[in-house]
Amino acid sequence: MSEQQLILEIGMGADVHGGDMTKAALRAVSDAIRHSSMSVFATWKVPNRMRIEVTIACPDPDAVDKAAVAAALPYGTVEVICQQGGLTDTGMGGTADTTLAVAGVRAFLDTERSPFRLRE
């Protein structure tokens, strides 16, 4: 297999009131993919051949609904990895606390099965 990483985008998302890790993660993924146009996949008619790896860093990684995060990506096979990170701003107290999540979205493609080749 000749899988190559073609895209890496970073995003940040917040749940301003409530500490909802999934909401913050979804906003981080949305932020990341809005910064990128994956036109190479559509141009070569291979968007479903992408393998997408999403890494979410947030204060409570076990509270992230990985299936909901994976469903936020429109194409490809998606793997979601959650780890400790992000930020909780407890300055306001209770439901006014803010939770921040960071997302790294990487897209890979097996270039042996694609109509183009990457230069070495």
pLDDT digits (tens, 9 = 90+) for 69-95: 999 998 889 999 999 999 988 766 666
Please list the residues that pair with 4 across neighbouring strands: 109
114: helix, coil or strand? Answer: coil
Q: Domain 3-113, what fold?
A: 60s Ribosomal Protein L30; Chain: A; (3.30.1330)
Span 89-112, pLDDT tens digits: 876 666 678 899 999 999 888 777
All structural domains of the chain with their residue ranges: 3-113
**How far is 10 from 21, CA to CA, in rounded Å?**
17
Segment 11-20 shows an average pLDDT of: 91
Query: 75-113: buried (b, 16+ CB within 10 Å) or exposed (e) per residue?
Result: ebebebebeeebbbeeeeeeeebbbbbbbbbbbbbebee
Within a 10 A sphere around the Cβ of 115, how many other Cβ atoms? 9
